Structure 1
Amino acid sequence: MGRQKKLMRNFIGIIKDRASLIKAALSIKRSAATIRAAVIRATTHSTSSPPKEHRVAAVLALGHGSLPTARACIAAIMYRLHGTGNAHVALKCLITLRHVVARGTFILRDQLSSFPDTGCRNFLNVTAFRDVETWEISSWVRWYGAVLESNLIASRILGVYISSSSDLTRNKPTFTSLLNSDLMREIDVLVRIVEELSNFPDSLHCQKNDLVYEAVNLTGKDYRSTQRQIGTRLSECVDRIDRSRFGESAELTRCLTRLEECRERLVALFVNRNRNDAFWDLVRETKAKAEEERERERWVVTVSEWTRFEERVKGPSQRLRLAYGGEWDRVHLTVMPAMA
Structure 2
Amino acid sequence: MTKLTVTTLIGIIKDKASQSKAALLSKPTTLSLLRVTTHNSFYPPTHKHISTLLSSTDGSRATASAFLELLMDRLQNTSDAAVALKSLIVVHHIISQGSFILQDQLSVYPYTGGRNYLNLSNFRRNTNPTSWELSSWVRWFAQHIENLLCSSRILGIFFLRNSLSEGEERVSGITNGDLLKEFDSLVTVVEGICKRPDRASDSNEGNKNKNKNKLVDEIVNLVGGDWVVIETVVVVEVREFKERLGCLEFGEAVELVCCLKRLEECRERLVMILELQQGFWEMVRDLKEKVGVEVYKEKGKVQREGRRVRFSESERFSDRVVSSCDFIRFPSGRFL
Is the TM value for this pair above 0.5?
A: yes
Q: Partners of 2:292 and 2:229 in 1: how far apart?
A: 27
| 5+ long unaligned stretches in structure 2 | 203-210, 308-336
| Pairing 1:249–2:253 present | yes
Q: Between the two proteins, what is the percent identity of the paired residues?
A: 40
- The structure with the largest alpha-carbon Rg is 1
Higher mean displacement: 16-25 or 204-213 = 204-213
Change (3 A) 1:170 1:215: same
Give the secondary structure class of the aligned counterpart of 2:197: coil
Q: Partners of 2:198 and 2:41 in 1: how far apart?
A: 24
- Structure 1 runs (4+) deviating above 2 angstroms are 22-27, 167-177, 202-207
The equivalent of 1:153 in structure 2 is 150
Q: Relative contact order (C-alpha < 8 Å, sep 6+): which is higher? A: 2
The equivalent of 2:15 in structure 1 is 17
Contact 2:50 2:90 in 1 (8 A): yes
The equivalent of 2:135 in structure 1 is 138
TM-score, scaled relative to structure 2: 0.83
C-alpha displacement of 1:204? 5.7
Higher strand share: 1
Contact 1:155 1:161 in 2 (8 A): yes
Contact 1:43 1:92 in 2 (8 A): yes
Change (3 A) 1:171 1:36: farther
C-alpha displacement of 1:11? 1.0
C-alpha displacement of 1:169? 5.8
C-alpha displacement of 1:129? 0.7
Give the secondary structure class of the aligned counterpart of 1:172: helix
Q: Partners of 1:25 and 1:51 in 2: how far apart?
A: 19
Change (3 A) 1:72 1:222: same
C-alpha displacement of 1:160? 2.1
C-alpha displacement of 1:14? 1.2
Q: Partners of 1:89 and 1:153 in 2: how far apart?
A: 24
The equivalent of 2:298 in structure 1 is 297
**Equivalent AA in structure 2 for residue 305 of structure 1:** G
Contact 1:63 1:105 in 2 (8 A): no
The equivalent of 2:283 in structure 1 is 282
Count of equivalent residues: 295
Q: Given the alignment, which residue of 217, 233, 237 partners 2:237?
A: 233
Q: Partners of 2:165 and 2:116 in 1: how far apart?
A: 29
Contact 1:191 1:259 in 2 (8 A): yes
Higher mean displacement: 5-14 or 58-67 = 58-67
The equivalent of 1:110 in structure 2 is 104
Q: Partners of 2:138 and 2:261 in 1: how far apart?
A: 28
The equivalent of 1:172 in structure 2 is 167
Q: Partners of 2:37 and 2:87 in 1: how far apart?
A: 6
Contact 2:164 2:232 in 1 (8 A): no
